[in-house]
Amino acid sequence: MTLFSLAWKNIIRDTKTYIYYFANCVFSVFIFFLFIALAGHPVFKVIDVNSAMWYILVAAQLISVCFSLFFITYSVKNFSKARGKQFGIIVIHGGTKKQLNQLIFYENIVIGLGSIIFGILIGMLFFKIFSSAAERVISGVELNFYFPVKAIIMTIIIMGVVFLLISVIAPRLIRKSKVVQLIKVEEMAETMPKRIGMYAVFVISTAAIIVGLFATKYEDIVSFFLLPVGVVAVASFMCIVVYEGIRFYIFVSKSKGSYYQGTRLLLMSNFISKIHSNLQLITISAVLYGITFLSVILMVSSTEHVEELVRKQCPSAYLYTSWDESADTEGNVELIRKTIQDEPGYKEIKMQFWTNDPESNYGSMIMPVSMYNQIAQFLKYPNVRLQGEEALVAAGEVKQKNLEIPDVYQELCGQQGYQLKKTGTQQNLIWLSGYLSETTVVSDEVFQKIEDQLAVKEFYAFDVNNWTSLKDKTHDLYQYFLPLRDKQQATFISDYTYYESDRLEKDLILYIGSILCFSFLLGITSFIYSRLYSTMEKECNYYKNIVKIGLSKKELSKIINRNIGILMWVPFVLGLLFLWGGILVIDRSSVISNLSTGVICTVIYGVGQALMVLVVNKMYKKKIMEGVYETSI
Amino acid sequence: MKVLSIKGLEKTYDGKVPVRALRGINLEVERGEMIAIMGPSGSGKSTFLNVISTIDKPTRGRVRIGGKNPHEMNDEQLASFRRNTLGFVFQNFNLLPTLTVEENIMLPMTLEKVPVGEMKQRTVEIAKLLGIGKLLKKRTYEISGGQAQRTAVARAVVQDPALLLADEPTGNLDSKAAKDVMELFGMLNKKKKTTVLMVTHDALVASYCQKVYIIKDGMIYQEIVREGDALEFQEEILNAMTLLGGGRHDTV
């Protein structure tokens, strides 16, 4: 018998112990394979390497690998912990650290190889189903079946490296100095975590975020690290909240005496005896819940509001302006008119903007209120009344801050004896976001005095009701105007172009994000399962002894209900807090509001979680009762 | 020749209130002796065994087994020491459930990288000697407690250790199985001159040994040497335990 055959026998002859860990590994490979097979589909070959779509596909694979690494390492850590006694037996009979490392390495490599094979096979089986789902979610994409040779090779290589890493890390997760002592005791008692550690992590990570937010000079580097550091800060905060909450509860109930009444003593002492694993479980679950909940809401919300978002950024379906005198403005406008004039709700407007810089087609603009009101009518904004020195500043881009009258126009008007006073601002855009800076609207009286010192720029806007379905007409117009844009003669902008690419991006994010969120939720289920079922035998023995000294079935049921309640509701509620904190922060800078989607999703999450708690509680209680009373219930 | 030599052995467990489990034990065991360690609950006998068996480290004092101090060894040396010089039998057998009886016995030889042919030969020999030759292909859940303990004993002695340590070896067995296991120890001690040191609560089990050391409050309280037959020896042990201050409930 060799160490490898010992490892092999351990796996083959104790499938009940290894199957859960194996299932986690297969699932991780399966998810990664799905992403890489999708990314490698011939239909995505046309994607630019530096485009948002490409980044989304790469990010999905990266997140999948990182999550797999974390998920499997956590599983293997718990799994190794449960086998401590076996390792102790090997050590006391003369196994060296190296031999123990080798044994664990072999086991993980065997499981890793098996997972890769099964993960790919299952991935191939389900790829067609997931491709069909992707076609439904990602509008305008046809994912015909293809044999993903490259995806198979990449999965074998990348997940192979992951499992190799885990096989090397796994032995280091076991404290060998303590392993030999596990022969004498069933398990090492969990010590209370050091508060200073938790607080230190929280303070350092929060400080790093604050410093990062002010370090605008290194924005690119900082933004890369902000998210993971943010997750660490939030996780440590949750850990502190739960830990201090428990300590506070015990302190209060002990001082009142209620700690010693009923089943509280049993519940809390049992919870504290596993404080380390419980805290770990609650914190990881809370973070995953929070990320999943927030991601789902943002993805659903942005997919639902693509049209609205596009219109907020570009308020008319089609925009045209000539940049150069050589452009055939009339002919170009006539072409656009002829192409779409028969569409329902067709309307057009010729907008005039004035600027002090005749060479520029961009920058700060000014216009009389009569022109503004024409545009307002076209765009269905409220009309504005301006008299004398009153002025309105209209934003040039979405959520533009600090809208003020530019100095150049203040001086221009000042030369005519007018001191402009800003009486209001308008956040709704009148042209494509970011194309122009702010537009100052003044009274007709003031404008007449300064008009001869300004150069006029003409912009044409067209609108139809059904712009989201004019793919072919828009495409034809775009192809016609592309050479003119390249020659810097004119520009043609369509809502449909932005809508199409935004739609595709958000649908892709929705599809990929849903799978990732599902993985995270499955990860939470796996962690809870691991925590409950790996200690089930010990819990049964524990309660069996207490039943002998007078614990009733009803009281035992109460303890189980409360234990499951703490383990499942606490991280859920913390996750919801994270979710709502995130929504409130994001809504401040977001074009669309996520509040309504947030409320609906919170209700759905709550109902789903309540069902899950009911099911888990029922199943777990049944097993415990059977184990304690050794009868089928 | 001294197999085990202990001088001034002390063990203190640190904590809010430090606990002195062993307060200076001196003991010597000659080759071929069979020794029992007894004492009331909390006397320190399990701690004593843990320190000798290298599961725990002493706070002070010296332990020499086969002329070597295991607590001064590095990991590689200690592992080799455990494989070749010590054998350990536990109360709850501690067999690996994923291995057969044969493979459990082979475990120390696997770790020592003994050639496969020699491994199998020695396994068959020791299994025959201990009366479990027909159980080699069985899994651990297919055998009785007595058979499991015999397997554990076979695993412990297959490498011919200088010292065989046993922690309540009959604790989980019925009286017949316990008697069988003690006769096994006796046979190994006589035939192979295996030096045995066991911890036990059971005066009957202790009566199979040549000497009994009674530990009280972390120190050797009394040494009883067998002079007559087993029954007289057992009575003498029971009287000593009664005088110790515990009732007969502290011994079986």
Strand ranges (DSSP E) for A397-438? 421-426
Element (H, E) at B8: strand B2-13
Per-position DSSP letters for A473-490, written without gaps between them:
HHHHHHHHHHHHHHTTSE
Taking the C-alpha atoms of residue A16 and residue A422, their distance in angstroms, rounded to an integer, is: 75
Q: B53 φ, ψ to 5°?
A: -80, 5
Query: What local confidence, expressed as pLDDT, does residue A89 receive?
Result: 87
pLDDT for A358: 77
Q: CA angle B163-B169-B173, nearest 5°?
A: 160
- Closest-CA residue in chain A for B54? A92
CA-nearest residue to A89 within chain B is: B94
Return the amino acid letter for B206.
Answer: A
Burial class (CB in 10 A: 0-12, 13-18, 19+), A522: middle
Q: How does pLDDT run across A158-209, given as a tens digit for each residue?
A: 999 989 988 888 887 776 656 666 666 555 566 667 788 889 999 999 988 8
Mutate to test the interface with B, among A2, A10, A92, A176 (most CBs of B within 10 A): A92
Distance from C-alpha of A143 to C-alpha of A420, rounded to nearest angstrom: 59
**Mutate which of B86, B103, B111 to test chain A, going by most A C-beta atoms within 10 A?**
B111
Lowest mean pLDDT segment, chosen from A453-462, A524-533, B38-47, B227-236: A524-533
State the nearest Cα–Cα gap between A187 and chain B, in angstroms: 14
Residue A7 contacts B, CB cutoff 8 Å: no
Distance CA(B56)–CA(A200), nearest Å, equals: 34
Secondary structure (3-state) at A95: coil
Shortest Cα–Cα distance, A254 to chain B (Å): 21
Cα-flanking dihedrals φ and ψ of residue B220, to 5°? -70, 120
Alpha helices in A40-145 (DSSP H): 52-82, 84-92, 97-137
Does A10 touch chain B if contact means CB atoms closer than 8 Å? Answer: yes
- Report chain B residues whose CB lies below 8 A from the CB of A180: 54-55
Contacts of A101 in chain B (CB under 8 A): none
| pLDDT 10s digits, B91-115 | 888 888 888 999 999 988 888 888 8
In a mutational test of the A interface, the residue from B96, B99, B138, B165 whose CB has the highest number of chain A CBs within 10 Å is B96
What pLDDT is recorded for position A176?
62
Task: Tell me the average pLDDT across A9-30.
Answer: 85
Q: What is the largest CA-CA distance in chain A?
A: 102
Task: Provide the β-strand partners of residue B6.
Answer: B27, B63
User: What pLDDT was estimated at residue A350?
Assistant: 94
Residues in chain A: 633
Choose between B211 and A49: higher pLDDT.
B211
Confidence check: pLDDT of A109 > 80 = yes
Question: Looking at the complex, does the CB of residue A374 fall below 8 Å from at least one CB of chain B?
Answer: no
Question: Which residues from A are below 8 Å from B94, CB to CB?
Answer: 85, 89, 183
Mean pLDDT of A73-97: 81
Contacts with A, B 192-221, CB within 8 Å: none
What's B100's DSSP letter? B
- The 10 Å CB-count burial string (b at 16+, else e) for A231-264 is ebbbbbbbbbbbbeebeeebeebeeeeebeeebb
Give CA–CA dist A134/A34, Å, rounded.
11
A258-304 residue pLDDT tens = 777 778 888 888 888 888 888 888 988 998 898 889 888 888 887 88
| pLDDT at residue A104 tops 50 | yes
**Interface contacts A/B by beta carbons within 8 Å:** 71
Residues 6+ away with beta carbon under 8 Å from B42: none
Give the residue on B whose Cα is nearest the Cα of A85.
B94
Residue of chain B whose alpha carbon sits nearest to that of A103: B111
pLDDT at A632 over 50: no
Please list the residues that pair with A367 across neighbouring strands.
A441
Q: How far is A184 from chain B (nearest CA, A)?
A: 9
pLDDT tens-digit map of A490-537: 999 999 988 988 888 888 888 888 888 888 888 888 888 878 877 888
**At B252, is the pLDDT very low, low, confident or very high (cuts 50, 70, 90)?**
very low
Q: Give yes or no for residue A219 having a pLDDT over 50.
A: yes
CA A618 to chain centre: 32
pLDDT at residue A246 in the model: 84
Is the sign of the CA dihedral A200, A202, A206, A209 positive or negative?
Answer: positive
Q: C-alpha angle with apex A166: A164 to A171, nearest 5 degrees?
A: 110
Least confident of A124-133, A389-398, B180-189: A124-133
Nearest Cα of chain A lies from the Cα of B111 at a distance, in angstroms, of: 6
Q: Quick check: A243 pLDDT over 50?
A: yes
0.80 surpassed by pTM: no
Burial of A401 (0-12, 13-18, 19+ CB in 10 A): exposed
- Average pLDDT for residues B30-37, to the nearest whole number? 94
**Shortest Cα–Cα distance, B233 to chain A (Å):** 30
Angstrom distances, CA of residue A331 to CA of A322, A336, A348, A350, A559 = 11, 9, 15, 14, 81
Angle at CA of residue B94, ends A106 and A625, nearest 5°:
95
Whether the CB of B80 is below 8 Å from some CB of chain A: the reply is: yes
Whole-number pLDDT of residue A220: 64
Q: Is B155 on the interface with A (CB under 8 A)?
A: yes
Interchain CB distance below 8 Å, B98 and A181:
no
Instruction: For residue A89, give the nearest of B46, B54, B94 by CB distance.
Output: B94
- Encode pLDDT of B114-159 as tens digits: 888 899 999 999 999 999 999 999 999 899 999 999 999 999 999 9
